[in-house]
Amino acid sequence: MSGKPGYHGKILNIDLSTGKIETVPVPAEDFDKFVGGQGLGMKILWDRLKKPGVDPLSPDNLLMFMPGPFSGLPVPSSSRTCVVTKSPITSPLKSDYTHPSTVTYSNMGGFFGPEVRFAGYDGIVITGKARVLSYVVIEDDKVEIREAAKFKGMRTDAFDRAFLAELGDRRFKTVYIGPAGENLVPYSSILHTAGRAAGRGGTGCVMGSKNLKAIAVRGTGQPTVADHKAFLAALENARRALNGSAFAKSWAEQGTARAIVGNSNAGTEAVRNYREGTFTEADKIGGDAARRDVWVKDIACYCCPLACKKSGMTKGKHGGVVHDGPEYETGVMLGSNLMISDMPGLLKAITTIDDLGLDQISTGNVIGFLMEAYERGLINRSFLDGIDLKWGSVDATLAMIEKIAAKEGVGALAAEGVRGLSWHIGKGSDKFAIQVKGLELAAHNIQANQPRGLSYVTASRGACHMSGDNIAMQNRRAMMDSTGMCFFPTFEPTLEEPMLALLSAITGRKFDKAEFEKVGERIFTLEKLFNYREGFRREDDRLPDRFFEDAFTVGPKKGAVLDREKFESMLTQYYQDRGWDPETTEPGKKKLKELGLDTI
């Protein structure tokens, strides 16, 4: 034990190459400085990947499942798990190393993180590569690596059921990859229960590179808290803040799908490969339509009153069970972005992507890019293996999804992402290849939203809408993802003080708003140090030309386009405010000392 209240003080380390399984103590100082989740995962990655340029798909890379100190306790909306690794999809424009890439941290809800804590660990670190396809079973301090050959190629929905039957106990909480991860698609995801995913940055690809199909965890313990009386008082205040909250009610009613129509009306939605910000048929795929025609059940993560996950049924040609969706990102990237307004068809695409284990955001972006290249005549139907990839075509979209996951024909090229596709196609296609550092943008368009553009270019994992639109938001988000707290309830302003009080009561360390943000800044800056060491510089913090050259032609923001000079000026100011060199983006010595990072 670390002697730190709120923590077990140890990480479970599993080397798949040697079969060695051990618990590794975590220094108390690391909990103080990096808390858990994303922050502690970043510190472990920095410490153990000492040399830049390590191949993300090599046995040396780390794949970490990191809950935070809130996980496993009855803190509302705080069951998140951060999957931290070195990304297989990002890279700088120039580097001295063979395999440079960013850190990536992909966050998922559900029940896995709490179960890791019940089993007695503050995180799981996977290294090495299994000789054959394998899975890991963890029951408290009993850990086994078992062969998984009979599950090879199984899609996630069927595997989820078969795996629990194999384990013989539904109390196990599991994470797993689909065919896309096994086939090393760089933007494949890790699934946890139907529809919950660590989707961004290629976490599933890293898991596949380790010949690891799944992990199952079951624990019987319980995390401790430093001040039980203060914890119960803060917990009651947190519950009261959410009880009856208009924000909580809206999440329960429509989840993130409520933003599909709202953002379209605001002109900030990804439409037609980001050519527009408004989708005139958004009401057909938005939250009202889904609530009326699809959803029959609201599902919550561990100890969450929001229940933002939905399930239901659609009918017709593309009908079937809906495990989740449309959410905002999935509904836009596979709907508005591809000009698809057929709800059953949209939900079939969402379901298929999860079933194959792909990132919804990157997959929708790749298909949108190919649709535009096809429309412009830069590629033909032969290039697309005969697929008539026209805007709004559900059947063509489904065909491309299957090819990408299998890396079959054009799917092998499409699996490399929009940047790789644009390099192959050429002909000026890079102008509408919507990515930053190799990672595709999320569903928020930016011709009329300059701060979100700042988020995309300065985020640590490549284009990231969740990082935050300014420095204060970035610091807070990094810290939130280190506690295990979900982003959604933070829209309720009265929750801030109870959550700070909960963190203080659990850890025994006083957290006010200033300290919370300072720890977040330390985490974000360490991520920047990692990326800088890999070779990322200011020239990598750039948006595609589309956002500066192609003004919207429809909607309330018609005519909107970013001003390149103003954007660069804003970027310079950002680096200066961060204490980073505005020319190279290297964090300055004064800032590193201020954050206690000068010694590492």
Superfamily for domain range 10-218? Aldehyde ferredoxin oxidoreductase, N-terminal domain (3.60.9.10)
Q: Is the peptide bond before 326 cis (omega within 30 degrees of 0)?
A: yes
Distance from C-alpha of 67 to C-alpha of 217, rounded to nearest angstrom:
13
- Which residues make Cβ contacts (< 8 Å) with residue 376, sequence separation at least 6? none
pLDDT value at position 227?
97
Other CB atoms within a 10 A radius of the CB of residue 317 amount to: 11
In the chain, where does the domain assigned CATH 1.10.569.10 lie? 232-417
417 neighbors 187 (Cβ within 8 angstroms)? yes
Report helix, strand or coil for 432.
Answer: helix
196 neighbors 108 (Cβ within 8 angstroms)? yes
First CA to last CA distance, the chain: 24
Alpha carbon 503 to its chain's center: 24
CATH 1.10.569.10 fits 232-417, yes or no: yes
In the chain, where does the domain assigned CATH 3.60.9.10 lie? 10-218
pLDDT value at position 321?
86
pLDDT value at position 1?
43
pLDDT digits (tens), the chain, 600 positions: 446 899 999 999 999 999 999 999 999 999 999 999 999 999 999 999 999 999 999 999 999 999 999 999 999 999 999 999 999 999 999 999 999 999 999 999 999 999 999 999 999 999 999 999 999 999 999 999 999 999 999 999 999 999 999 999 999 999 999 999 999 999 999 999 978 999 999 999 999 999 999 999 999 999 999 999 999 999 999 999 999 888 888 888 999 999 999 999 999 999 999 999 999 999 999 999 999 999 999 999 999 999 999 999 999 899 888 888 899 999 999 999 999 999 999 999 999 999 999 999 999 999 999 999 999 999 999 999 999 999 999 999 999 999 999 999 999 999 999 999 999 999 999 999 999 999 999 999 999 999 999 999 999 999 999 999 999 999 999 999 999 999 999 889 999 999 999 999 999 999 999 999 999 999 999 999 999 999 999 999 999 999 999 999 999 999 999 999 999 999 999 999 999 999 999 999 999 999 999 998
Handedness of CA 513, 250, 236, 111 (dihedral sign): negative
370 neighbors 383 (Cβ within 8 angstroms)? no
Distance from C-alpha of 116 to C-alpha of 31, rounded to nearest angstrom:
17
Instruction: Characterize the bridge pairing of strands 10-15 and 21-25.
Output: antiparallel
